[in-house]
Structure 1
Amino acid sequence: MPSTAPARALALFAGALAVIATTCLPQAAQANGDYPSQPITIVVPQPPGGAADQFARPFGQALGKELGQSVIILNRPGANGNIAAANVARITPADGYTVFYGSVSTLAVNPHLYKDAGFDPLKDFQPLTLTNQTPNVLLVGAQTPYHSVADVIAAAKAKPGALAFGSAGNGNTMHLVGLQFQAKAGVQLMHIPYKGGPAALNDVLAGQIPMMFHNLSAVIPFHQSGKVRVLAVADTKRSPLLPDVPTMAEVGLPGVESVAWSGMLVRAGTPAPMVDKLSAAMRKVLDDPAFRKPMEAQGFEVLSSTPDAFSARLKKDYQSMGDVIRAGNVHID
């Protein structure tokens, strides 16, 4: 009589396949059209009230309407964005329900600054779309005697190392553009790192520090109200919101350029149908004039891109920012 072992093995194998199929059913069903069936969380690695928050909240509201599902904004600041990035990249499930609002600082700069940032931007994330960019600008408090970049350079040369500038933290793009400024202008400044851009800006407004480099979108209302003066834009072109403010190149400092971009990403391994659906919905929001125009009025240049185009820009800036950091010998232990 033939052995029953093969039959038993087949039965066990069939049972295992059934378990696997049953386990994968919810995700497969969502990937085929039920997604999203629960709220989506967008993790913002900056405090409430900052430039990232100003964009993420209205974007989340518009995306929720487009998807027919609630979108929650979760602010999780700390370690220049590393805490939030590492959490999304390594801990949250790759199920399309947690989105990371990443920036050039967190994704292209931080991995070169820290011995262990806690994530690999090129391996741990799946880009969805770029969302916006805004140039960094040099601004001074209204109470200062500086009315031009030439005034700042003259003061810095008169007392090397005494003139202070604030930033959102060591290695942030606001810090790096300050290093570019020093190199091109031939001056030495005192860098004061803060825990976020809003804290540094508050001290400029209060007269505690004379100046800083900051995102245009964050300082527009203060410039318009006369509380700060924007002296130059670190971009290749003038901002349409500040047509009378020159670029760094126009004041004799070519190469002092810093455009801070942001975009939406999910954890690598998220099923392709979910990536495609999220990316398409986000780009529809970003291309809608009803969303785009109010954001542009605040100083954001609204972007919209495919996942592949975002991946290409991330790889390019990851390399270029690494070059700048190594040249400036900047690091955070």
Structure 2
Amino acid sequence: MSHKSTWARAARWALLPAAFMAAMAAAQAPANPSRQAGYPDKPVRMVVTFPPGGSADAVVRMITPRLNESLGQPVVVDNRPGAGGNVGLGMVAKAPGDGYTLGVGAAGALAANSSLYADMPFDPLKDFAPVGMLAAIPFVIVGHPSLQARTLQELIALARRTSGNLSIAHGGNGTAMHLSAALFEQMANIKLVGVPYKGSGPAALAVLANQVPLAVVDLPASLQQIKAGKLVAYAVTSAQRLPMLPDVPTASEAGLDGYDAVGWFGVVAPAGTPPAIVTRLNAGIGQALKDPQIQTAMRNLGVEPAPGSPDQFSRYIHTETRKWGQVIRSANIKID
């Protein structure tokens, strides 16, 4: 037997322990959780904390057909409104973290409610795995044309002269519109009388009828009236100008440096949901939100698409929780 064949046989034997160890390690290593569970192998429930027909519900129903395709299973929308989103997200918090129950919550339930409500059915910072943000909802500070103010600075000066007698309508106590108005008061160092209405539409109608001089409302409730000159738009509440109102400055541009207040909503899963499942869901949502047709449809509803990673959404929830907590405490806002 040649030395060459002896060395070849020895080399093959030497490799056997390493190959055996590698095979054992592969068998013992945890598999991708989503693949290991065959996720998804049944329908996924999406608990929406808003009633049917609203902008958030409409956006969810826009993206679910794309999620159906990417997941290979139907996503079933389950509307569970109530208590500012606490009812629906309370159900999600108690569900198994297996990716089959998801929740769509807004700035209220995921950031502000922990400072508004004395008794919360969940901890928004601990009981959920953020999947991804869906949309931001910018607002507009509007007034009746009879007001002797045409700019935000003139409005602030008028509010100071009237010594707290100027009223501002919003879409309901504890809503993002209410908190946006409170932040406006605090940053402008003025005192306004808040008047809650059941939604943005009724608040805008109150200003149109000159029952209340000011309001913080969303675009669907105000855009056409602003363009017709029936409402004065002093500023948008977002950090950037809006394509639908390109000539209206942001509140920050108009003198309240750093002012940024928007409504928003996004998708969360129960805490403990495997990261691989969260990543897969986020990818499907992101793909839908980047579709030009869906983006156009969302903007027609007055909302801005806001795709991002789970980590980005998690950081945003923490930032918003701190921000609105400070505003709520300063304004002494409470929800019974």
CA distance in 1, matches of 2:40, 2:194: 45
For residue 169 of structure 2, what is the amino acid of its counterpart?
Answer: G
For residue 38 of structure 1, what is the amino acid of its counterpart?
Answer: K
Q: In the alignment, is residue 41 of structure 1 matched against residue 51 of structure 2? A: no
CA distance in 1, matches of 2:107, 2:283: 22
| Alignment correspondent of 2:193 | 190
| Alignment correspondent of 1:234 | 237
Pairwise CA distance, 1:189: 1.6
TM, length-normalised to structure 1: 0.78
* Cα distance per residue 1:165-214 (max 9 Å; x no partner): 22233232211221222233343222122344444345445655443213
Q: How does 1:318-329 map to 2 (within 5 A)?
A: 318-329=321-332
| Alignment correspondent of 1:285 | 288
| Alignment correspondent of 2:317 | 314
Q: Which residue of 128, 133, 150 maps to 1:130? A: 133
For residue 290 of structure 1, what is the amino acid of its counterpart?
Answer: Q
Pairwise CA distance, 1:330: 2.5
| Alignment correspondent of 2:70 | 66
For residue 273 of structure 2, what is the amino acid of its counterpart?
Answer: T
CA contact (8 A) 1:44 1:101 kept: yes
Q: Which residue of 52, 55, 63 maps to 2:56? A: 52
Instruction: Give percent identity, aligned residues only.
Output: 38
Q: Which moved more, 1:310-319 or 1:59-68?
A: 59-68
CA contact (8 A) 2:153 2:255 kept: no
CA distance in 2, matches of 1:93, 1:226: 52
Secondary structure of the equivalent of 2:253? helix
Unmatched tracts of structure 2, length 5 or more? 1-31
Structure showing greater radius of gyration is: 2
Pairwise CA distance, 1:261: 2.7
CA contact (8 A) 1:220 1:299 kept: no
For residue 40 of structure 1, what is the amino acid of its counterpart?
Answer: V
| Alignment correspondent of 1:304 | 307
Secondary structure of the equivalent of 2:269? strand
Q: In the alignment, is residue 212 of structure 1 matched against residue 215 of structure 2? A: yes
Q: Which residue of 94, 110, 133 maps to 2:113? A: 110
For residue 269 of structure 1, what is the amino acid of its counterpart?
Answer: G
For residue 66 of structure 2, what is the amino acid of its counterpart?
Answer: A
**Over the residues paired in the alignment, what is the CA RMSD in angstroms?**
3.0
| Aligned residue-pair number | 305
For residue 99 of structure 2, what is the amino acid of its counterpart?
Answer: G
CA distance in 1, matches of 2:254, 2:265: 28
Q: How does 1:11-22 map to 2 (within 5 A)?
A: none
CA distance in 2, matches of 1:300, 1:160: 35
Secondary structure of the equivalent of 2:138? strand
CA distance in 1, matches of 2:60, 2:209: 27
| Alignment correspondent of 1:119 | 122
For residue 96 of structure 1, what is the amino acid of its counterpart?
Answer: G
Pairwise CA distance, 1:126: 0.8
CA contact (8 A) 1:31 1:271 kept: no
Secondary structure of the equivalent of 2:280? helix
CA distance in 2, matches of 1:228, 1:211: 9
CA contact (8 A) 2:237 2:251 kept: yes
CA contact (8 A) 2:136 2:264 kept: yes
CA distance in 1, matches of 2:182, 2:192: 9
- Relative to structure 1, the CA distance from residue 67 to residue 180 in structure 2 (aligned partners, 3 Å threshold; closer, same or farther) is same
Secondary structure of the equivalent of 1:171? coil
- Relative to structure 1, the CA distance from residue 75 to residue 179 in structure 2 (aligned partners, 3 Å threshold; closer, same or farther) is same
CA contact (8 A) 2:182 2:327 kept: no
Q: Which moved more, 1:269-278 or 1:109-118?
A: 269-278
